[in-house]
Amino acid sequence: MSSEPLLRVENLKTQFFTDAGTVRAVDGISFEVHEGEIVGLVGESGAGKSVASMSLLRLVESPGEIVGGEITYRGETLFGLEEGPDGELRERDDMLSNEEMRTRIRGNEIAVIFQDPMETLNPVFTVGGQLREFIELNRDLSGKEARKEAIEMLREVGIPDPEERYEEYPHQFSGGMRQRVLIAMALACEPNLIIADEPTTALDVTVEGQIIDLVDELQEKYDTSFVWVTHDMGVVAEICDRVNVMYLGEIIEQAPVDELFHDTKHPYTEALLNSMPRPDRTVGELEPIEGVMPEAISPPSGCRFHPRCPDAREVCQRVHPENKEVARADGYPHNAACVKHDVFDVGYDESVPLDKEPQMTASTPSAGDDGE
Amino acid sequence: MAVGESQVGSGSEPAEKEVEARTGWRNTLKKIKRDTTARWGLYVIGFVLAVTAFTLVDSNLSRFTFGAISDFALAEALPVLEHPERLPAPGEAETNQPPMFHADGSLSNPLGTDPNGRDYFTRIVYGAQVSVSVGIAATFLGLVGGTAVGAIAGYYGGWIDDMLMRAIETVYAIPPLILIIVFTVFVSGGSPDVRFAIIGVGIAFIPVFARIIRSEVLSVREMDYIEAARAAGVKDRNIILRHIIPNSFAPVLVYATLQIGVTILIVAGLSFLGFGAQPPTPDWGEMLNTSHGYMHSNVWLSIWPGLAIMITIMGFNLFGDGLQDALDPRIND
């Protein structure tokens, strides 16, 4: 692998302490983002993608908390814990303070594009006003210069008549136009990393295509890195360089995008790909993933995917698979967390296939332990 | 909204834009203009405010449009004391004169004179100054205080919320009039003054405003644009001032408009009880206080200030109701 990555996340754990119990929304994920790369974070609703991306900016709200792991951005520690003299974990000295996070990192270094462009602009101020405020805030420009810059940014993201649109309110913009404004906002301070949290999910498909093209274009121009959070494998194929597939708070497969699509190593990824609507397949040929994702509050034992996995065997209930390298492609490892690739230790091949019928017990934690 | 115009453009882009552009403040104003009762409320408020403004200018310039008797009416409250020559000599003015339409009335004192021989019309006019400005000032105090407390409590939540809201509820549990009287007496050290009444009433109103704005903030703070602002590195203070408060302000604004009427009434009540404006400052409540001893000999002394209070409050209430409808997106034409 090349030099030091732009962003490195190691064993990140974010949990929500609710009355019902501890929700392990993100449970030990590790990934890297290099300069100029678009890295996908893929998974079903509730897999922990958004929590993971918000954790990167330390914007997890109570009752949520980052409880472990390390986030390094350009050699600076965004989050890190160490063991104190009393044996308790405490924040490391070199971890950036909240103040530094706010003034230096958020917006300036790492920006976010949110999912719903309808809700992400303040309805009481003009679009231009918000963009200008944001530029003023992060770039130390005077009001006039910031205004000029804001109009320039609007033009850059393909908004017609930016001078006039500058004075308009968010409700006068269509969804696609608003998403363009949000992209302008994210790019305004020329951050090195943009976290795009399902930025095209709320848009219709034609607009989605335009937005993706726009991002592609701008990414080339500014050489910005992206963490692209999505549940849409189609978007992933289109835009991402490398992909991390998440399931129930864990990354279960990571690989460069072509490798992931052509040499899928994890049954979950396979199932995701098979459940995608495609023009060459009818509805009847779609293979939805059986059942629903269990609650992260009490994940299934062993492999978390085993209650829904078509390839599950008895051993999957007992052994929690490590995410390890199973192949290499383009200088990057292809990691997968599945015991199928662990032939020597756990004896997957000798294990009995699981009966797929009574699998509605997915949400009870001990179901797997007694072998049913 | 503006059905006529939108049909003219028949869906073409600029016409649609124009229709949409009319939402927000301009649209609210338009709705109020179309609402007859709200419009009358606005007229009344405008009139009362104009009278108040007039008296302020008039007295500060020492012009005293209404002549010598009015100067006497303003003694102490206004800079008239610097002009003692303007005071009528004792016994010179006729006391307890009935209004002009009465057989014994005269045109020079259209509403008659009070037991001290002061022109009642002038006192009513100048009374607006105290009543209205106190009403607005006290409501404003409650609005600002309540908004600050409510927005902070709602935005931060947790123990800050608990602490602030419990404190607010403690204040809320005390009957407002008693709270205000006790506050006024304590702070003023036995010499009540209308300024202390303003602060007292303002404090007594903080809880209601705080609760209204807090409940709004609780829903606004979950909006994506708050999250987006945070992700962009905006300071908490700016998030509250620029994003939270503007988006949760409409209901408080309506409530404040309605509350001005109530405040005027409370301040009048305070003056009536002797804790507000002190004689000889002309204030409608204080005038009621003085006049209630003369109910049998000259009932007009009670009717005029009562009428003034009623009309003013009605104006604010009508306008407040109209504003509420105008700001409610569900009521559209």
pLDDT of residue B329: 62
Partner-chain contact A112 B231, CB within 8 Å: yes
pLDDT of residue B105: 67
| Average pLDDT taken over every residue of chain B | 76
pLDDT of residue B20: 42
- Residue A21's pLDDT band, with cuts at 50, 70 and 90, is confident
Q: What Cα–Cα distance (Å) separates residue A207 from each residue in A116, A177, A194, B182?
A: 14, 9, 20, 65
Q: Looking at the complex, does the CB of residue A222 fall below 8 Å from at least one CB of chain B?
A: no
What's the CA gap between B142 and B197, in Å, rounded?
A: 13
**CATH class (in words) of the domain with range B120-318:** mainly alpha
Partner-chain contact B247 A122, CB within 8 Å: yes
CA distance B160 to chain A (A): 14
Q: pLDDT digit string (tens) for B193-242?
A: 778 888 888 999 999 999 999 999 998 888 888 888 888 888 888 889 88
Residue of B223, B224, B233 lying closest to A103 (CB–CB): B233
Beta bridge partners of residue A228, listed in sequence order? A40, A196
Q: Looking at the complex, does the CB of residue A122 fall below 8 Å from at least one CB of chain B?
A: yes
- Residue A365's pLDDT band, with cuts at 50, 70 and 90, is very low
What's the CA gap between A102 and A335, in Å, rounded?
A: 34
Q: What Cα–Cα distance (Å) separates residue A54 from each residue in A70, B8, B23?
A: 14, 48, 34
Partner-chain contact B225 A171, CB within 8 Å: no
| Average pLDDT taken over every residue of chain A | 83
Partner-chain contact A106 B227, CB within 8 Å: no
Per DSSP bridges, beta strands A64-73 and A7-18 are antiparallel
pLDDT of residue B2: 39
Percent above pLDDT 90 for chain B: 13
What's the CA gap between A92 and A75, in Å, rounded?
A: 14
- Residue A368's pLDDT band, with cuts at 50, 70 and 90, is very low
Whether the pLDDT of residue B27 is over 90: the answer is: no
Partner-chain contact B224 A105, CB within 8 Å: no
Name the helix (H) or strand (E) containing A30.
strand A21-33
> In the CATH scheme, what is the homologous superfamily, with its name and number, of domain A7-240?
P-loop containing nucleotide triphosphate hydrolases (3.40.50.300)
Residue of A62, A106, A169 lying closest to B232 (CB–CB): A106
Residue of B158, B225, B246 lying closest to A121 (CB–CB): B225
Helix extents (H) in chain A: 49-56, 98-100, 127-139, 143-156, 162-165, 175-188, 205-222, 233-239, 257-262, 267-274, 343-346
What's the CA gap between A124 and B246, in Å, rounded?
A: 7
Q: pLDDT digit string (tens) for A144-153?
A: 888 888 998 8
Q: Name the closest residue on chain A to residue B220, using Cα atoms.
A: A122
Q: Looking at the complex, does the CB of residue B222 fall below 8 Å from at least one CB of chain A?
A: no
Whether the pLDDT of residue B73 is over 50: the answer is: no
Q: Looking at the complex, does the CB of residue A121 fall below 8 Å from at least one CB of chain B?
A: yes
CA distance A273 to chain B (A): 30
Average of per-residue pLDDT across A315-341: 83
pLDDT of residue B214: 93
What's the CA gap between B143 and B252, in Å, rounded?
A: 8
CA distance A142 to chain B (A): 17
Whether the pLDDT of residue A143 is over 90: the answer is: no
Sorted by where each begins, the domain ranges of chain A are: 7-240
Residue of B223, B231, B234 lying closest to A119 (CB–CB): B223
> Quick one: which of A71, A252, A92, A107 has its CA closest to A194?
A107
CA distance A224 to chain B (A): 16
Q: Looking at the complex, does the CB of residue A10 fall below 8 Å from at least one CB of chain B?
A: no
What's the CA gap between A226 and A236, in Å, rounded?
A: 12
Residue of B23, B223, B228 lying closest to A112 (CB–CB): B228
Partner-chain contact B17 A172, CB within 8 Å: yes
pLDDT of residue A107: 83
Q: Looking at the complex, does the CB of residue A57 fall below 8 Å from at least one CB of chain B?
A: yes
- Residue A3's pLDDT band, with cuts at 50, 70 and 90, is low
- The answer to whether the CB of A370 falls within 8 A of the CB of A343 is no
- The answer to whether the CB of A229 falls within 8 A of the CB of A41 is yes
pLDDT of residue B62: 57
Side-chain-side CA neighbours of A172 within 13 Å: the count stands at 24
Structural tokens at position B249: 């302000």
Partner-chain contact B232 A59, CB within 8 Å: no
Q: Looking at the complex, does the CB of residue B190 fall below 8 Å from at least one CB of chain A?
A: no
Name the helix (H) or strand (E) containing A31.
strand A21-33
Q: Measured in whole angstroms, how far is the alpha carbon of residue B83 from the centre of its chain?
A: 31
- The answer to whether the CB of B207 falls within 8 A of the CB of B148 is no
3-state secondary structure B46-67: HHHHHHHHHHHHHHHCCCCCCH
Q: Looking at the complex, does the CB of residue A129 fall below 8 Å from at least one CB of chain B?
A: no
pLDDT of residue A344: 61
Name the helix (H) or strand (E) containing A256.
strand A250-256
Percent above pLDDT 70 for chain A: 93
Residue of B157, B158, B225 lying closest to A122 (CB–CB): B225
Q: Pick B12 or A256 by higher pLDDT.
A: A256
- Residue B286's pLDDT band, with cuts at 50, 70 and 90, is confident
Beta bridge partners of residue A253, listed in sequence order? A245, A336
Say what the alpha-carbon torsion angle B284, B286, B288, B294 is, to the nearest 10 degrees: -140
Q: Looking at the complex, does the CB of residue A194 fall below 8 Å from at least one CB of chain B?
A: no
Q: pLDDT digit string (tens) for A185-213?
A: 888 888 899 999 888 887 888 888 888 88
Q: What is the ipTM of this complex?
A: 0.76
Its pTM stands at 0.74
What's the CA gap between B107 and B205, in Å, rounded?
A: 43
> Quick one: which of A254, A244, A121, A280 has its CA closest to A186?
A121
